[in-house]
């Protein structure tokens, strides 16, 4: 499992029948400190993620089992939306800001 940020969408007019009704999103993998890592991937969205959100992704066999119909032909699947990331005990959000960093 790894983190990524949704940076775009993919439109596919033809797809495997068990993938009908699912969106494909372009996701930039992230390091633990939320900086970009590697190249972007296309992932099937199992959780209704939106643009700019930090998400959990699984790949390989785990991705093929992330949807209700098991073993669909996918290499990556979004299985969760990140609410906060806590690396130093401050409990910051996915954008790295904490309550203390909020203006006002």
Domain boundaries, the chain: 15-53+65-71
Per-residue burial over 36-64, b if 16 or more Cβ lie within 10 Å, else e, is eeeebbebbbbeebeeebbbbbbbeeebb
pTM: 0.78
Model confidence pLDDT, tens digit, residues 1-34 = 899 999 999 998 888 888 888 899 999 999 988 9
Rg (the chain; Cα; Å): 15
3-class secondary structure, 28: strand
CA distance 55 to 53: 6
Note the pLDDT of residue 92. 55
């Amino acid at each position: 499992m790894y983190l990524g940020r949704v940076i775009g969408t993919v439109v596919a007019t033809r797809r495997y029948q068990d993938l009908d009704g699912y969106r494909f999103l372009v996701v930039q993998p992230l390091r633990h400190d939320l900086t970009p890592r590697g190249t972007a991937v296309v992932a099937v969205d199992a959780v209704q993620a939106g643009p700019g959100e930090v998400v959990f992704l699984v790949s390989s066999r785990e991705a093929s089992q992330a949807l209700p119909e098991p073993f669909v032909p996918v290499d990556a699947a979004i299985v969760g939306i990140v609410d906060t990331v806590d690396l130093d005990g401050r409990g910051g959000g996915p954008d790295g800001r904490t309550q203390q960093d909020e203006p006002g």
